[in-house]
A and B are shown apart, each in its own frame.
Chain A
């Protein structure tokens, strides 16, 4: 004999096993009927067995809790404390989780460039994975985004990133009405009416746009600290809705249709699964008003089924309203909560009239809308920033971010630190002057209020500073000199206005040599203060910090600076010097970070295990000084080389945040973004770097523009670059790539041969030549590749397959199939190992695709190409010319994956264009006739 208790604890009662099948059968049968008929049906079917009926009813009443709904992802994250924080969706970076609403997690997020905060609600994966539903959701979102009203929480758009799709919403500070009611109980009449009017305004505006909220409830209504009411999640129920066709989602799906919304606030027709319209909102409005006045829900049962039954059948019990409630307010609530829609207030205009007493002349709709009278509630509120509304989205995305320095950016003065002159009699002491220049530049570069021109930024201008002021927008510059004599040093520094040549600040120092670091730091502080009087304390403190107290260590550090990264013996020597410096001062974080970067660089052309050493040292540096940009910069570069895109991006973002003018982070970050197919982002970074380089850094500017296949713009930029620097190797390289992509392979061959011959020690140019030879399937391919394959096991520029694999192809072409197989197997094993070690870069997948293609395994090759696409690979221009993949040329799947790449690149190009990222005038002046 089963009892209700045993229904919950089956292990305790054998009886329930008999009923198990029956319970299940009844469960499914009941669900084929609308909820208000469940009780009746079960009473009849369970004839005489109330325990069984209760059992089934309690199962039917279960609403899917978030644990089971969100699945193991959310679970795993919650358990381990890992969060989605730091994930990037479009221009936004997710911050902390701020809520778990009915249908997904909501995060605070920040647009790093516009410095504004939003809320992002992550859409459930089953919605995102279904292209039809996603498209429908996008359409809905588009309509909702057009809503603009002070009492409506704005929807800015839809963003994607890292496998997630999220709705970008206005971040509204303050507590929800539900929270207010929970902590304070019922509101006063004035408070309630003030809020009600604002809600009514919001609803009216939405209804005029044809938008129905469908899920209005106190949890969706927020009151800002200023007393402004914001209704949130308008119509989102439809975006996230499960369709009636999917029986496994909402527990409340019945054969008659999906029931959406929160039971306590549902209108009777909603409870019956019928369509919602304006009058649904009217009902919910009444329920909310009731609750504000009484502190209780108007309909509430013990279970979902009970609640719904109450909604459909029970009297609202308006006698629960406070006795002091005026008659017209009572009447309004009554009219909103009429069960028959025909008896209900027809729309919000009616409601407003009723609320205003019914006899007063109804205010014009426009007037009502603007009467967003704030209401002050005497409850402590959360302290958060609020944001300005943004432009609509879709095609207008980030129209507010121009490529030219925006007004905000232009207020940030552009400063140059000219090389300090060395006046020392001993030429060996020359590096003090250079060091001081670099240090001051580096320090100022970390002040967000300033923009600092890179070291070579003034190189085109000699002493013509007024011209630099005009062409670059240079505001002022720092001049100085250093003289070391014996144990004393004399430094003079001056800040000069670039346009007027007026001296803004000047100082002379004379110290013991040991005090030179203090002098440096003082100069940086003084300059920063002269330019930005309102410098925040934290930044001031940062500027006051000296890299080290130990002069000898510092001297070693300065000496290491002159040694090239890319020259192996020099790099090793530099590392040696830095090690010595660290031995003298183990807390010299900057030296540690530079050493780390050099180690990472060793791994680039050499043994990749150097990279891990570099990472360890960078982390050590950051432990000493967590705000050290060079540390994050090194990590970003290292992780990108290891193909750990997410980590790399995080580190780079931090580096750029801490050091907004630092050329290193901007360049490397731009390349990393390109590697992962985020071409528009790469262009943005490239442009920023370009402007800060005194408009000289063409490589990082043009490479992503070329990748996004803005061929015309690329050509214009390259022609200008060539004009300015006719022998610059990288310009020639990019030109060659452009020619190849445009179909002029023979021109590319000529150009690449020429530059490789003119600069035989330039490894990069040798690789480039090999690229062109390969992509034109030239007969001379083999010997060139033979030489390079030995030198570099990794994949190289533009992220195609490795030289080793290409060489294997060349061998196979010649008939040397045994050697070819061995080489290919090696290459493949290496790629697999990289992937197993956590490499998520597109290159490794392209490599495996190529290896499979070489073996003739079309299926596997295509599978890997698709994965490469998903990982971010976008170089369809090279892929369609790649000889290894030629056998797949007519395969529909190959065509399709190329097409997907092409379309994505097109979309990015359009986005970039809209954002003004392809505008050239601000970069190189009026467009020359091409």
Chain B
């Protein structure tokens, strides 16, 4: 769909040049595509591909955008939207699955190194999402770091580039945020 691609490319560049409105228009387009790819890729295949967040986002990128017209800085920006959308997509999937199951209440996450039954994963993801929201309220930058690295699969350097901080800062944020999230996720559920 050439017209479709034009839109995305133009919007992406516009956003790169500082047009925030372009971002708002961009998100739904990309989300749809990413969702489609994610579902097709994750749900359909019996695990033949090692699913990589970056690969998915790259694929969406390739499909949506006219590569010749994009310079690679935009790619980093694209990845950061991708990360956010990836998160949304996965959490939605987890919620949907969780509600399908019988008794899908939040389950306490065990710290034990021994086997973690797969069925609590859906609950884990939703709790991660909620914990991440809580984190972002208190410390937005750490929230972004987790989102970019965990959901977007960006390296420390790439994250640093997108957030315009040093790599060292990213690593410190990452370490602290992980500990905080882990604690948050294992906390007793209170009226949630």
Contacts and interface: CB of A to CB of B under 8 A. Distances in A.
B48 A646 contact: yes
Interface stretch (A82-90, A369-377, A531-539, A694-702): A82-90
B179 A62 contact: yes
A66 B112 CA distance: 10
Contacts of A82: 42-47, 51
A68 B181 contact: yes
Nearest to B138: A10
B48 A86 contact: yes
Interface stretch (B14-22, B24-32, B73-81, B113-121): B113-121
Given A20-B139, A67-B124, A71-B150, A59 B176 contact: yes
A99 interface: yes
B133 to A, nearest CB: 9
Interface residues on B, range: 35 or more
A63 B111 contact: yes
A60 B178 CA distance: 11
Given A76-B42, A248-B171, A68 B97 contact: no
A24 B121 contact: no
Given A11-B137, A97-B118, A100-B116, A83 B183 contact: no
A87 B115 contact: no
A77 interface: yes
Nearest to A176: B114
A85 B46 contact: yes
Interface in B178-192: 178-187, 190
A63 B185 CA distance: 12
Max chain A Cβ within 10 angstroms of own Cβ: one of B46, B116, B187: B46
Interface string B150-185: 110100100000000000000110111011111111
Contacts of A59: 176, 179-180, 183
Given A63-B111, A77-B47, A836-B62, A72 B53 contact: yes
B4 interface: no
Interface string B116-155: 1010011011001000001001110000000000110100
A627 interface: no
Contact of B116 (A28, A66, A650): A66
B52 interface: yes
Contact of A8 (B45, B51, B114, B183): B183
Interface string B23-65: 0000000000000001100111111111111000000001100
A646 B115 contact: no
B12 to A, nearest CB: 18
B86 interface: yes
A63 B110 CA distance: 11
Contacts of B114: 178, 219
A162 B86 contact: no
A99 B117 CA distance: 9
Contacts of B128: 67-68
A17 B138 CA distance: 7
A73 interface: yes
Contacts, number: 156
B93 interface: yes
Interface in A411-455: none
B153 A71 contact: yes
B94 interface: yes
A312 B145 CA distance: 36
Given A8-B187, A72-B53, A20 B138 contact: yes
Given A8-B184, A68-B182, A85-B47, A99 B113 contact: no
Contacts of A322: none
Nearest to B180: A59
Given A27-B179, A178-B114, A836 B53 contact: no
A83 B94 CA distance: 15
Nearest to A101: B113
Nearest to A28: B172
Contacts of B90: 72, 75-76, 79
Contacts of B51: 72-73, 76-77, 82
Given A78-B121, A247-B175, A62 B182 contact: yes
Contacts of B53: 71-73, 76
A64 interface: yes
Contacts of A75: 90, 121, 124-125
A879 interface: no
Interface string A250-271: 0100000000001000000000
A102 interface: yes
A815 interface: no
Given A65-B111, A101-B113, A646-B45, A251 B94 contact: no
B107 interface: no
A255 to B, nearest CB: 13
A87 B48 contact: yes
B106 interface: no
Interface of B: 38-39, 42-53, 62-63, 86, 90, 93-94, 97, 109, 111, 113-116, 118, 121-122, 124-125, 128, 134, 137-139, 150-151, 153, 156, 171-172, 174-176, 178-187, 190
5 contacts: A10-B137, A17-B138, A65-B186, A73-B53, A646-B45
Given A72-B153, A76-B42, A79-B122, 6 more contacts: A27-B176, A59-B183, A65-B109, A68-B181, A219-B114, A248-B174
Q: Which 6 A-B pairs have the closest CB atoms?
A: A646-B48, A78-B121, A84-B47, A62-B182, A80-B42, A163-B50
